[in-house]
Amino acid sequence: MKIRIIIIVVCIVLMLFVISLIESFNHNYSDDPVESDLIVMLGGGDEARMQKAAELYQEGYADHVLITPVVESDLLSQSSELAMEYGIPEEALILEDEAVSTYTNATITIDIMEDRDMTSALIVTSDYHVKRSKYIYDRLNDGSFDFRYISSLSEQDTRWHEDDSAFYVWANEYTKLWVYRMGIYWFSE
């Protein structure tokens, strides 16, 4: 009897693991943009994130763009100078420089939105990062905010799984998403 229970438990654990692996490849989520109070460009990734945020701004989806975190460097694609090069005027920029992870991006975004009486935002990030960003923002949202998640393709205009580093990207996102699901987000900072 004990052996049957052990076999059943092992089968259930293996099945959950396989389902988790299969589900981890689905990074195709992206909302259609709607008029919002704010466009949030999450730092990291390549210049395509800024390009997408600027495109949404120029199409009139929001009057303000938050760069979280802003890093004033030519080496990274999250500076106010780059935003202005893409046509986002300085007066439309909201800059914050404290975020160190997707979790702190979300907490700071929510604080800024509360301070400015904003209720809706378009969260712009790379296609591979949307799933984890959505998980974190939705988890922290108490229902006060309407977040939409907009994915940007890479600078080469390809999906994450078409890149040479696809396995690394998948493994990194899979690990980080489970770190967040287990509630130990500080581990990824």
Q: What is the value of pTM for the model shown? A: 0.79
User: What pLDDT does 162 receive?
Assistant: 59
User: What pLDDT does 137 receive?
Assistant: 95
Q: Which domains does the chain have, with CATH numbers?
A: 29-154 (3.40.50.620)
User: What pLDDT does 171 receive?
Assistant: 72
CB atoms closer than 10 angstroms to residue 146: 13
Torsion of CA 180, 182, 186, 187, to 10 degrees: -100
pLDDT < 50 stretches in the chain = none
pLDDT tens digits, residue range 100-132?
Answer: 888 999 999 999 999 999 999 999 998 888 888
Q: Outline where 70-120 has alpha helix (H).
A: 80-85, 102-115
